[in-house]
Amino acid sequence: MTYNTIDWKTVKNIGYLTLAAPPGNEMDTLFFSEFSHLLKKIKSNKSLIGLIIQAQGRHFSSGANIDQLLSIFSGNEPGIPKFLKNNNEAFMTLSNLTIPVVACLKNICFGSGLELALCAHFRISSPNLLLSLPETGFGIIPGLGGIYNTHKCIGAAKTLQFVLTGNSLDAPEALECGLIDRIVDKNDLNKVAVKIILTVANNYAKEFKTIYLRELFAADLPL
C-alpha cells in the first residue's frame, strides 16, 4: 500500500518513515490515519533493525491542522473520539518499539510534529531548528504524549514553562536542556542516524529495552 502523506521504504533492514507533505508537513486527518496504518505494519515487521523518522522539504513539521482537529469536537460525542484513540495507539506503539528509533529534525518542529519526534529514542537535528508546543495559545494542550515525554526529557519546572508559554527553543537551547540529543550538519543527518542504528544493532541485543537505548545515547554511545 502506498500513502499520500508519508513515504515509507526499507533499506538494509532500516525503515525510513518520511513525512511527505512539504513544505510544512502539516499533520491532517489523512496523515494520522495513514500513520496508524503504517505503525501497525512496522510493529509486526520483525526484520527491521531500526527506524528513521525524517521529513521532506525545509521543515520537519508544523504540527496538526488545528481547525480540522477541533472540528472533530463540534458534535457532542462524550469521551475520547475514536480518531484520537487511534492516534494515541499509534504514538504509543512508536514509543514502545524495541528497535532504535531516530528522529531527524530541521527547522520548524511544532505541536504534534514535536510530539511525534518525542516518541523517538534519539533526536538529532540540523543547526537550524525551532521547537515549540504552541497548543495552549489555541486554548488546548498537547494531547499525544507531548507533555509526558517533554517532562521525561527536561523535568517538571521547564516543562511547565515550555508548555504554558508556548515559547520556542532553538537547537542549542534544545540540546542544552535535553530535548534533543545531538546537533549535526543537515547533510549528515541521515548518515548519523544510520550510524546510531547500526551501532545499537551490532553491539546490543535486539530486545534491548528502549529505556537503555536512551541512556546509552546520553552516556555518549561510541559513534
Residues that bind other proteins (CB under 8 A): 69-74, 79-81, 84-85, 88, 91-92, 95, 136, 138-148, 151-152, 155-161, 163-165
* Minimum distance of other proteins from residue 64's CB (angstroms): 11
Alpha-carbon gap, residue 178 to 153, rounded angstroms: 6
Nearer to other proteins, 85 or 191 (CB): 85
Nearer to other proteins, 2 or 74 (CB): 74
Nearer to other proteins, 148 or 212 (CB): 148
Q: Which residues pair with 50 in a beta bridge?
A: 14
Nearer to other proteins, 169 or 193 (CB): 169
* Minimum distance of other proteins from residue 223's CB (angstroms): 27
* Minimum distance of other proteins from residue 88's CB (angstroms): 5
* Minimum distance of other proteins from residue 44's CB (angstroms): 20
Alpha-carbon gap, residue 121 to 97, rounded angstroms: 9
* Minimum distance of other proteins from residue 144's CB (angstroms): 7
Nearer to other proteins, 14 or 144 (CB): 144
